[in-house]
Amino acid sequence: MKKIGILGAGSMGAGIAQVAAQSGHKVVLCDTKEEQLEKAKAKLAKIMARLVEKGKITQQQSDNTQNNISYTTSMNDFEGSGLIIEAIIENLDIKKAVFEQFESIVDDQCILASNTSSLSIASIASACKNANRVIGIHFFNPAPLMKLVEIIPAIQTDDKTLRQSRDIIESWQKITVQAKDTPGFIVNRVARPFYGEALRIYEEGIADFATIDWAMTEIGGFRMGPFTLMDYIGNDINYTVTETVFKAFYYDPRYKPAFTQKRYSEAGWLGRKSGKGYYDYSENANNPAPTKSLVLGQQIVDRIVAMLINEAVDALYLNIANAKDIDLAMTKGVNYPKGLLKWCDEIGAIEVLSRLEKLQSDYGEDRYRASFLLKKAIENGFTFEHFIENGYSYCDLV
């Protein structure tokens, strides 16, 4: 598999193209907008120059990477590719249309992959006559730096496509985890409370943005606080993912979006890219300082971490992925300080359950319901380390 096609020259598509090109593939980067292609080409040149300057690569490697990528506005140039990765707008109808078009360009052996973060791979595959060669290959931004890639087979995907997809992505020096084709896969499903519960705490007036971020970084050990991270991702993007997951899970209250984020998105306060979000990024901006109360900070961390752990345990219960891959996904995909299942063992499953049951009792909301597997693990005396070491699933407790 020498030739790789990438559809979409935004930051994600361009990043994937760089990864493939650095691994020695001939890459065709396609976008409908010529200016987007020029922007991607200029950005790559700048990145390569910086890597050479820092001594991370040679000038020859820089030249080879840039020469390996060709830029086009025509998908017909994908002809002869062994793999195409689509990295365009999160719109199911548009994705299905381009996958249908892919089949008229490439041969039957070409793997067709989507980089979607939350849409159904089965739905995308349904647009193809040969649906068994369609798969999800979800990178994290920035693709050249983030090690994790989620591999998501649809119910139509055959074993050969799954095996070949993992092999090629791992040959790019990436860490792969396999996820079931369910909304948000592993990372975007399990991470929802990091944003959602932080927003809920703010909306209740318990703490402001800066205090919540301070608590999660200084006490919780997270690399970024939820509001800093949402500003980095973009409020529009983060809100859309939350809304998509919420609708896809039949309006399960655990994934309910926050009006605060909706209003910030509607106002155009998208974060760093718009110059204003939860924080002001303009020159000489005076953002409020956090309230550095250890008691309040610990309460914030305990609440959000309990929700995150519960989501990870529930993903294991519903066989979204195995225990090892769930913890790997959260540490390598979103840089959590430790795997959530391991974290549950450290805190103690009984303590985590106690926090959740108190929240559910206080609020009377199904949002805080504890995973059945959390209760079952306590009942059977299992730690989640046993799940990781032995490859256990819920069925092993029955």
Cβ contacts of 348 within 8 Å, gap of 6 or more: none
Q: How confident is the model at residue 396 (pLDDT cuts 50, 70, 90)?
A: confident
From the candidates 86, 103, 120, 150, give the one annotated as an active-site residue.
150
Question: In the annotation, is 25 catalytic?
Answer: no
Question: In the annotation, is 117 catalytic?
Answer: yes
What is the predicted pLDDT for the residue at 398? 64
Token output for 1: 């598999």
Contact 145, 335 (CB under 8 A): no
What domains can you pick out in the chain, each with its CATH number?
Answer: 3-178 (3.40.50.720), 186-398 (1.10.1040.50)
pLDDT tens digits, residue range 271-298?
999 999 999 999 999 999 999 999 999 9
What is the predicted pLDDT for the residue at 314? 97
From the candidates 25, 138, 197, 311, give the one annotated as an active-site residue.
138
Contact 114, 165 (CB under 8 A): no
What is the mean predicted confidence (pLDDT) over 91-117?
96
> Percentage of residues in the chain with pLDDT exceeding 90?
94
pLDDT over 90 (residue 395): no
What is the predicted pLDDT for the residue at 308? 98
pLDDT tens digits, residue range 290-319?
999 999 999 999 999 999 999 999 999 999
What is the predicted pLDDT for the residue at 1? 67
Question: In the annotation, is 371 catalytic?
Answer: no
Question: In the annotation, is 74 catalytic?
Answer: no
Integer-rounded Cα Rg, in Å, for the chain is 22
What is the mean predicted confidence (pLDDT) over 167-182?
97
Task: For residues 21 and 16, give the distance between their C-alpha atoms in angstroms, rounded to a whole number.
Answer: 9
Alpha helices in 235-338 (DSSP H): 235-248, 259-266, 294-317, 323-333
pLDDT over 80 (residue 42): yes
pLDDT over 80 (residue 333): yes
From the candidates 188, 235, 265, 310, give the one annotated as an active-site residue.
188
pLDDT over 80 (residue 29): yes
Long-range contacts of 358-366 (CB under 8 A, 24+ apart): 359/303, 359/306, 365/253, 366/252, 366/253, 366/254
What is the mean predicted confidence (pLDDT) over 207-234?
97
